[in-house]
Amino acid sequence: MSASGRVRIIGGTLRNSRLDVPDLPGLRPTADRVRETLFNWLQPVVGGARCLDLYAGTGALGIEALSRGAAGVTFVEREPRLASALKANLARLKVAGEVIGDDASRWLRGSARPFDLVLLDPPFSLDAWVETARQLEEGGWIAAHGWIYVEAPRSAVLALPSNWLVHRQGHAGEVSYTLYRRTPADPLS
């Protein structure tokens, strides 16, 4: 593994910890300032939250949630080298997290358990936002009033579930990031 050491945890009990990250093409860790903004938004709700970090990559989003008091994080990452590095980082930092080495879409076809916070930042080349959002919503993966973080290209127009209400949003360069609040779907619609 060629570790870059570029990714660091921004706040919480693991503040300034560095994550060893394999040098892989297409890997695009969420920028420090975006993670800082996101977790400032989430501060009132992340403590005790059950989190799902889909397309985990470096795991920086999920580990940031653990650092800030999340009850637990399930990381789903299909790339074996990233999943292995994520397990090693969790062990080195002495924090628990469930790492699942599987394709997110395939994993979401399994038995659902609702999460309070879902971190949805797939590789931009996959164009997986709409289908993954549908699977999350229809599969029962998000708690009734859960939170969903979505990171996408700034130019993307995403048709996400209508009961995902924009709470906050921002842009950094060519990246758009949005925090949604899920409301239970209207049974009459």
pLDDT digits (tens, 9 = 90+) for 69-104: 999 999 999 999 999 999 999 999 999 999 999 999
The amino acid sitting at 85 is: A
In this structure, are residues 51 and 74 in contact, taking their beta carbons and an 8 Å threshold?
Answer: yes
In this structure, are residues 75 and 56 in contact, taking their beta carbons and an 8 Å threshold?
Answer: yes
In this structure, are residues 137 and 119 in contact, taking their beta carbons and an 8 Å threshold?
Answer: no
Percent of the chain surpassing pLDDT 90: 78
Rounded-to-integer distance, Cα 106 and Cα 118, Å: 17
For the domain made up of 30-182, the CATH class stated in words is alpha beta
pLDDT digits (tens, 9 = 90+) for 166-186: 999 999 989 999 999 999 765
The structure's pTM equals 0.91
Rounded-to-integer distance, Cα 172 and Cα 146, Å: 25
